[in-house]
Structure 1
Amino acid sequence: MNKGIRSYHGTDNTNVFITQNGCTMNSSKSSNNAITKQLNKYSKKFGLQNINAHALRRAYAKNLLNKGASVPLISKALGHSDITVTTQYLDLDVDEVARDLRGYLD
């Protein structure tokens, strides 16, 4: 569907979520609503369960961690203001993360 929209409007991007004109979505509340609606539509169409923006974001963070990205880097990528939020997001123990980070200071 996105390929057809991009082709029709002559846009060139690889975003999963695009506007009806094929453009990149901005970060406004209405865009977030549109993404939620698209996810709901796709989940029904393809019989997917538990698919939502939060689940995708969490999966992205877990994937980065599994590929070796540092927690501070993941925190920055997610836009978290505090690394504690990221450790909770990843279901990590804060003390364990602190110990691991201290290992780089020795």
Structure 2
Amino acid sequence: MTLQELSWSIGSASGALSIFLVAFAIWRQPSKDNSDKLHEQEQEIQGLERRVGRVETQLEHVPSKDDFTALQLSLSELRGTVSMTEEIVKTVRRTTQNIDDWLRAKGS
């Protein structure tokens, strides 16, 4: 093999290798882009999982429908008790006023 043939062979091999590497890079690039996107999505999913976990933890402490119903019943009972107490206080006030008026009239 002559020097010229060897040079041509090395040049051809170098050219073929260059074409192969360019083709490989072009073929590999979408895979790398997809890998990067998948990594970003995995990180986003992990962040969302943490946020959902915090929301679930806080929801454990929120009163249930039954709790609100029991509270509503208690408030209704309390309103009734306050109304009855108000009527009793009015009666005691009238009686006290009558006694006061009678004592003032008797003292004069």
Give TM-score, length-normalised by structure 1. Answer: 0.19
More helix by share: 2
Higher relative contact order (CA 8 A, sep 6+): 1
